[in-house]
């Protein structure tokens, strides 16, 4: 008899974050309702007691307060069980010293997902990589519970944490100032002014360039945004 495999559509940018309840190393959570009003980085990792994941969790834990300063909470996930999570996090704190990091305590929740229910809802299981391990997915979810950005990494590639922070700050800056950010933008760099919506506005923009605004052409204008305003 032919087996029919259930296909679950991956959530997309602009979608409401799929809801779930789960047991974590910090107790039960109701997601994303428990995080209303905050940004969340929901991320998956393939398995406990693996080296790449260990380096990532130590880095996430080291940067947790930095993310919190930007009103962002961290929530991790793997398809391992709760007791495996607890044992692994204890091992990290008690035994692992890496790149100057030691005695690292992971305080953000790590979801138990033995059934792979959450991983499947978020498209974290990629059969081309593994049918039993979640790839390194990262979902940026805004204070209204909307998915704003998604980054996927293969099992072998550790994440770039500077980029995760840069992406978070860039999206928050875009929301706050109604601008866009150019390639390789960092806080303090010039930002992009929204394109002109009509021929009249385009001509006026080129004829009357505001102070602090630089127009390369009618469709491409930037302006200064001091780092203290980000």
pLDDT tens per residue, range 36-90:
999 999 999 999 999 999 999 999 999 999 999 999 999 999 989 999 999 999 9
139 and 187: one domain? no
For residue 185, give its domain range. 178-229
Q: Which band of pLDDT confidence, cut at 50, 70 and 90, is reported for residue 1?
A: very low
Query: What residue numbers does the annotated binding site cover?
Result: 136
Q: Which whole number is the average pLDDT over 147-174?
A: 96
Residue 134: which residues within 8 A CB-CB, separation 6 or more? 44, 45, 46, 77, 78, 79, 113, 116, 119, 124, 125
Check pLDDT > 70 for residue 224.
yes
187 and 108: one domain? no
Query: What residue numbers does the annotated binding site for substrate cover?
Result: 136
Check pLDDT > 90 for residue 166.
yes
131 and 76: one domain? yes
Domain assignment present for 15: no
102 and 154: one domain? yes
CATH number of the domain that 201 lies in? 3.30.1020.10
Count of domains in the chain? 2
Distance between CA atoms of 147 and 13, rounded to whole angstroms?
A: 5
Domain assignment present for 5: no
CB 75 within 8 A of CB 26: no
98 and 40: one domain? yes
Residue 11 CB burial class (10 angstroms; 0-12, 13-18, ≥19)? middle
> For residue range 152-165, what is the model confidence (pLDDT) as tens digits?
998 889 999 999 99
User: How many other C-beta atoms are found inside a 10 Å radius of the C-beta of residue 74?
Assistant: 21
193 and 144: one domain? no
Domain boundary (109, 127, 159) is at 159
185 and 138: one domain? no
149 and 191: one domain? no
Residue 76: which residues within 8 A CB-CB, separation 6 or more? 43, 44, 45, 57, 60, 108, 109, 110, 111
Plot region of 182 (φ>0 → left; ψ -120 to 50 → alpha; else → beta) = beta
Chain-wide mean pLDDT for the chain?
Answer: 90
Domain boundary (130, 159, 188) is at 159
105 and 136: one domain? yes
Q: Which residues pair with 209 in a beta bridge?
A: none
50 and 144: one domain? yes
CA angle 161, 163, 165 (to 5 degrees): 70
105 and 195: one domain? no
CATH number of the domain that 63 lies in? 3.40.30.10
Domain assignment present for 7: no
221 and 125: one domain? no
Distance between CA atoms of 29 and 67, rounded to whole angstroms?
A: 19
Read off φ and ψ for residue 112, nearest 5 degrees.
-80, 125
Query: What pLDDT, on the 0 to 100 scale, is given for residue 40?
Result: 98
221 is catalytic: no
Query: What pLDDT, on the 0 to 100 scale, is given for residue 129?
Result: 73
**Active-site residue identified among 53, 72, 215, 221:** 53
């Amino acid at each position: 008899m032919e087996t029919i495999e259930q296909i679950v559509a991956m959530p997309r940018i602009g979608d409401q974050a799929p809801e779930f309840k789960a047991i974590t190393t910090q107790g039960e959570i109701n997601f994303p309702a428990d995080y209303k009003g905050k940004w969340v980085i929901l991320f998956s990792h393939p398995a406990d007691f693996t080296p790449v994941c260990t380096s990532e969790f130590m880095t996430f834990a080291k940067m947790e307060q930095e993310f919190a300063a930007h009103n962002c909470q961290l929530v991790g996930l793997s398809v391992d069980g709760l007791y495996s999570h607890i044992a692994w996090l204890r091992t990290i704190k008690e035994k692992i010293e890496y790149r100057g990091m030691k005695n690292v305590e992971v305080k953000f929740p790590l979801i138990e997902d033995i059934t792979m229910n959450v991983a499947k809802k978020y498209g974290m299981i990629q059969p081309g990589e593994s049918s039993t391990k979640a790839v390194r997915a990262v979902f940026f979810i805004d204070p209204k519970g909307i998915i704003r950005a998604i980054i996927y990494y293969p099992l072998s590639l550790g994440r770039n944490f500077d980029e995760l922070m840069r992406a978070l700050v860039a999206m928050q800056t875009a929301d706050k100032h109604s601008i866009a950010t150019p390639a390789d933008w960092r806080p303090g760099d010039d930002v992009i002014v929204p394109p002109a919506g009509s021929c009249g506005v385009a001509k006026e923009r080129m004829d009357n360039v505001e102070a602090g605004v630089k127009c390369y052409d009618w469709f491409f204008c930037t302006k200064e945004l001091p780092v203290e305003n980000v």
